[in-house]
Amino acid sequence: MEQNDPVDVLVIGAGFAGIYAVHAVREAGFTVRCLEAGAGVGGTWYFNRYPGARCDVESIDYSYSFDDVLQQEWKWSERYATQPEILAYINHVVERFGLHRDIRLNCPVVAAHFDEHVTMWRVRAESGEEHSARYLFCATGSLSAVNKPDIPGIDRFRGRMIHTARWPEEGTGFEGMRVGVIGTGSSGIQSIPILAREAEHLTVFQRTPNWSVPAFNRPLTEADQTRIREEYPRRRRVSRASSGGSVHVPQPKNAADCTPSEREQALERGWRTGGVLFGKTFPDQYTNLAANGYASRFAERKIRAVIDDPATADILIPKNQPIGAKRICTDSGYYETFNRADVSLVDLRAEPIRAVTETGIETDRSRFELDVLVFATGFDAMTGALNRIDLRGAGGRRIQDAWQDGPVTYLGYQVPAFPNLFLLNGPGSPSVLANMVLTSEAQVDWLVTLLRTARQQGTKRIEARSDAAEKWTTRIDEAAEETIFVHTDSWYLGSNIAGKPRRFMMYPLGLGNYRKSCDEIAENDYEGFMFDGH
């Protein structure tokens, strides 16, 4: 078995967070190695190559801020970049900062055990190669563990089956084919309009409808580029202190305090801002069901206006689902796709799938003959990627046991009894609720300061106290109860995965408040952490 030199920090995952961790840790004078499962860097943006894949955060915000020259020189071509452009950007960053030499590709990690005798993490890759490090950073992704549903007969299907998050690099080419898509979350909603144009016939199998708002995407002009370059320092400062990690803020009045015409104007403006940003129309849209009701009813009217058949609109419009309780989808022509003669919608609430057959899908009412079956069925989010590693802390404690009632962390960074293990964008951090790139930078910078402090003090072992982690997690539970997020089943709560404990997994009070809390704790001698057991 191949043995590798020990390093100070081993990073699992070369997505946005892992890549910046390699850079920042190295700059701070620590030795580092990153193990990446994919054949290329990029994480989420490497794997999610399905047609239509784009980020739902504007690219000028969803990009690194740590190096001003980098942000001044890179030009985004559109407001919301496509997956290939985001991946090209990530590769550019890796090249520019010479990060390749510390990243090992095709190296999925299967086990990581804490060795108490020497205070080191021992990590094993699928190939059998072993690595050891004082600190382990898990940058394994919030949406990386694929959820492939266990539908009866699924292995009998003789056509092609593809999950959106495992789309082949060479593309597909569905011309002349009968394609079925299961799932109408963000991945389904982004890919369906394009698959409809490609396939001979597209059948969409919808279990739960989602709210989607048009992206209003557009190319960025030269004038935009100049303005962006000038604005960047202020834009980043405001974004870091904001809730969602961008400059967009709601208009100042709560929904109930607006006159009907003010409300309508605010909603129209919010709608035209586009996509997830519609969720920021009113300051109380995520905390007050009545305020949210105005937004939901407005969205319903907009959606009905573009769907020709009212019965189809009835199926596509969510019911009893506050808009934004599941992440709002950001689309380009989604609802209009159902006006096409070569697209059919199957309401799985009315006719559940009975089985996958050799030639298609059988529901309670009909049979659908298909050449291709696309699973846009999402992820075991936030905890799935960690739970799929044989991850053991002090005393051999397994992460699955530590989290059997739902994930518990301190600041999203540490799990009690897992010394020197640090999570990036883990449960208990803002993660997917804020701009992930700025959140990753903030987290990595905070951790690098922690490691420098430990180095100065000669500390070998850093561990979160369980009472501190319980308190942090309770604070999140309580804050989440005040939001609309707990009013609908979603992957935010783990409810898309059978048997997963229901717990809201993200810090819901915003990036600015999160950073403030973390900084206060650092200033307070890292209250809640134990250094060499004290």
* Number of residues near ligand NA7 (by CB under 6 A): 20
CB of 495 to ligand NA7, least distance (A): 8
Which lies closer to ligand NA7 via its Cβ, residue 103 or residue 182? 182
The residue from 40, 52, 141, 183 that contacts ligand NA7 (CB under 6 A) is 183
H or E segment to which residue 178 belongs: strand 178-182
Binding status of residue 207 toward ligand NA7 by CB under 6 A: yes
Binding status of residue 376 toward ligand NA7 by CB under 6 A: yes
Binding status of residue 453 toward ligand NA7 by CB under 6 A: no
CB of 474 to ligand NA7, least distance (A): 26
Binding span for ligand NA7 by CB under 6 A among 121-129, 178-186, 433-441, 463-471? 178-186
> What are the beta bridge partners of residue 353?
363
CB contact burial 386-415 (16+ within 10 A = b; e otherwise): bbbbebbbeeebebeebbeebbbbbbbbbb
Binding status of residue 245 toward ligand NA7 by CB under 6 A: no
Binding status of residue 354 toward ligand NA7 by CB under 6 A: no
Binding status of residue 49 toward ligand NA7 by CB under 6 A: no
What is d(CA 170, CA 51) in angstroms, rounded to the nearest whole number? 12
Distance of CA 98 to the CA centre of its chain: 26
Which lies closer to ligand NA7 via its Cβ, residue 416 or residue 426? 426
Name the residue whose CB lies closest to ligand NA7: 185
Binding span for ligand NA7 by CB under 6 A among 19-27, 183-191, 459-467, 510-518? 183-191
Are the beta carbons of 159 and 370 closer than 8 angstroms?
yes
14, 38, 80 from 42: Cα distances, Å: 6, 8, 17
> What are the beta bridge partners of residue 161?
373
CB of 130 to ligand NA7, least distance (A): 33
CB of 463 to ligand NA7, least distance (A): 32
What is d(CA 322, CA 298) in angstroms, rounded to the nearest whole number? 12
Type of residue at 263: R
CB of 187 to ligand NA7, least distance (A): 3
Are the beta carbons of 494 and 381 closer than 8 angstroms?
yes
Which lies closer to ligand NA7 via its Cβ, residue 245 or residue 393? 245
Binding status of residue 344 toward ligand NA7 by CB under 6 A: no
Binding status of residue 184 toward ligand NA7 by CB under 6 A: yes
Binding status of residue 330 toward ligand NA7 by CB under 6 A: no
Looking at residue 280, what DSSP letter applies? G
Which lies closer to ligand NA7 via its Cβ, residue 208 or residue 287? 208
Query: Taking Cα atoms as reference points, which of 290, 295, 281 lies closest to residue 253?
Result: 281
- Site map 288..327 versus ligand NA7, x via CB under 6 A: ---------------------------------------x
Binding status of residue 253 toward ligand NA7 by CB under 6 A: no
What lies within 8 Å, CB to CB, of 389 at 6+ separation is: 12, 109, 110, 111, 112, 140, 399
What is d(CA 93, CA 24) in angstroms, rounded to the nearest whole number? 13
CB atoms within 10 A of CB 483: 19
Which lies closer to ligand NA7 via its Cβ, residue 71 or residue 425? 425
Are the beta carbons of 209 and 328 closer than 8 angstroms?
no
The residue from 91, 132, 208, 357 that contacts ligand NA7 (CB under 6 A) is 208
CB of 324 to ligand NA7, least distance (A): 11
CB of 361 to ligand NA7, least distance (A): 10
Are the beta carbons of 114 and 399 closer than 8 angstroms?
no
Binding status of residue 185 toward ligand NA7 by CB under 6 A: yes
Which lies closer to ligand NA7 via its Cβ, residue 66 or residue 205? 205
What is the per-residue DSSP string for 49-86? --TT-B-SS-TTTSS--S-HHHHHH---SBSS-BHHHH
118, 397, 469 from 533: Cα distances, Å: 15, 17, 16
CB of 375 to ligand NA7, least distance (A): 8
Binding status of residue 186 toward ligand NA7 by CB under 6 A: yes
Query: Taking Cα atoms as reference points, which of 74, 56, 39, 506 lies closest to residue 277?
Result: 56
Name the packing angle between helices 289-306 and 260-273 (round to 10°): 60
The residue from 182, 195, 307, 476 that contacts ligand NA7 (CB under 6 A) is 182
The residue from 491, 504, 507, 514 that contacts ligand NA7 (CB under 6 A) is 491
Binding status of residue 143 toward ligand NA7 by CB under 6 A: yes
Residue 360: what are its φ and ψ, rounded to 5°? 165, -140
The residue from 6, 28, 82, 149 that contacts ligand NA7 (CB under 6 A) is 149
- In the three-class reduction of DSSP (H, G, I as helix; E, B as strand; rest coil), residue 114 is classed as strand
Q: Which residues bind ligand NA7 (CB under 6 A)?
A: 143, 149, 151, 182-188, 207-208, 327, 348, 376-378, 432, 491, 496
